[in-house]
Amino acid sequence: MIEIVTAGESHGKMLVGIISNVPAGLTVDGEFINSELKRRMLGLGRSARMQIEDDCAEIVAGVRAHKSTGSPIALLIKNNDYQSWQNTIGADATGTDRKLTAVRPGHADLSGAVKYRFSDARNVAERASARNTAMLVALGAIAKQYLAELGITVASHTVAIGIVKAKACTDYTDVNTRADADKVRCLDAAASEKMVGEIRIAALSGDTLGGASEIVVKGVKSGVGSYTALNKRLDGIIMSAVGSVPSVKAVEIGDGIDGASLYGSAVHDEIYLSNSGKAERRTNRAGGIEGGMSNGQDIIIRAYFKPIPTLKNGLNTVDISTHKQAKAASERADVCAVPAGGVVCEAAVALALASALSDMLGGDTVEEVKRRYEQKESAV
């Protein structure tokens, strides 16, 4: 089963990632990985950190002459900002500056400091930082290359920022090309303009904004995941992966939220006999997953992000060194990370799906994986 592990601090020397159980013979395109990393850095509302970094992954193991060898693939992404943190972060650091004791509500600071018994939440903030999502995107790019061999694509677009909602998407072609051309990765031009306005207002008032992204997976055959065991249910696997992305507080599959307040007759996708005699659905309110399995339709996921918890005007908190009431620490942070969050969720979904597929198909080589997938029926 395809699995990942990552390490790295926001201002440490580098981010490290390993993806294991990738079959041999997969073309691993370093340029594609880097283009995915660039997509994560874009979008109005990102912090000044994005001007410091030039995210680029170095492939240091598991790939030879652009092909996976079947061994674990290891990646490195350098943190340029380490230059300014050398004496604070790292194994040989001696600096005790940059303490973080006025813990930020909504961030990992307080619970992390209590859990690991730190008197300074810097260790927590460094690892909990969404900086680590750069490595998630790089590893996700390898998962996307595995999925591409099976004809599967993963894309995303912004559907809400603050109170501004995009109109429902009816055209799921070339989603990433169209979304990436927009400042906030929104496919609805009128909504995009309003979203830009909302981000500017939040920036001026030292505040932050959340929102939602829709992730669209095309080309998945029927029958990935299984109803036979809780941990094989594809909706659960995807929700867990997306829900683990920093800032995500809710995950929806298809029309899950609206459907909860409707009659069943208005929710479930009726099944018809097609002209070719196959059973098919004309609607996709289930978002491509029924009974914990893909049903052959597009898989539609929505990730809901909370506003970034680092605020210019810190919220009320307690300073864990003085045990006095304080204003939360303010650090450089994004005003709105929703456009980037969509790209990160694509990676999380690609990895979850690649993992579920590799669990189902096994296979030592890409050719073997492809042959096994081709044998799967997509409809009856």
- Per CB under 6 A, contacts with ligand EPS among 125-184 are 129-131, 133-134
Any contact of residue 334 with ligand EPS (CB under 6 A)? yes
Q: How far apart are CA 109 and CA 124, in angstroms?
A: 6
Q: How many CB atoms lie within 10 A of CB 12?
A: 22
Query: Cβ of residue 109: shortest distance to ligand EPS, in angstroms?
Result: 10
**Size of residue set near ligand EPS by CB under 6 A:** 15
Q: How many CB atoms lie within 10 A of CB 116?
A: 10
Query: Cβ of residue 133: shortest distance to ligand EPS, in angstroms?
Result: 6
For the record, the structure tokens of 144 come out as 């996307």
Q: How far apart are CA 184 and CA 212, in angstroms?
A: 11
Any contact of residue 333 with ligand EPS (CB under 6 A)? yes
- Per CB under 6 A, contacts with ligand EPS among 231-260 are none
Any contact of residue 220 with ligand EPS (CB under 6 A)? no
Any contact of residue 185 with ligand EPS (CB under 6 A)? no
Cβ contacts of 305 within 8 Å, gap of 6 or more: 210, 211, 212, 213, 247, 248, 249, 337, 338, 341
Q: Could you say which of 10, 21, 145, 156 contacts ligand EPS (CB under 6 A)?
A: 10
Q: Could you say which of 210, 331, 339, 343 contacts ligand EPS (CB under 6 A)?
A: 331
- Per CB under 6 A, contacts with ligand EPS among 297-316 are 308, 310
Any contact of residue 213 with ligand EPS (CB under 6 A)? no
- Per CB under 6 A, contacts with ligand EPS among 338-367 are none
Q: How far apart are CA 20 and CA 146, in angstroms?
A: 12
Query: Cβ of residue 108: shortest distance to ligand EPS, in angstroms?
Result: 9
- Per CB under 6 A, contacts with ligand EPS among 35-54 are 47, 49
Instruction: Using the minimum distance from each CB to ligand EPS, give the nearer residue, 241 or 328.
Output: 328
Query: Cβ of residue 312: shortest distance to ligand EPS, in angstroms?
Result: 12
Q: How far apart are CA 85 and CA 79, in angstroms?
A: 10
Q: If you count them, how many residues does the chain have?
A: 380
Q: How far apart are CA 329 and CA 316, in angstroms?
A: 10
Q: Are 296 and 220 in contact (CB under 8 A)?
A: yes
Find the part of the chain contacting ligand EPS (CB under 6 A) among 68-76, 115-123, 221-229, 325-333.
325-333
Instruction: Using the minimum distance from each CB to ligand EPS, give the nearer residue, 68 or 213.
Output: 213
What Cα–Cα distance (Å) separates residue 208 from each residue in 82, 198, 336? 25, 10, 6
Q: How many CB atoms lie within 10 A of CB 167?
A: 10
Query: Cβ of residue 282: shortest distance to ligand EPS, in angstroms?
Result: 40
Query: Cβ of residue 39: shortest distance to ligand EPS, in angstroms?
Result: 12
- Per CB under 6 A, contacts with ligand EPS among 76-105 are 81
Q: How far apart are CA 187 and CA 158, in angstroms?
A: 7
Q: How far apart are CA 153 and CA 305, in angstroms?
A: 23
Residues that bind ligand EPS (CB under 6 A): 10, 47, 49, 81, 129-131, 133-134, 308, 310, 331-334
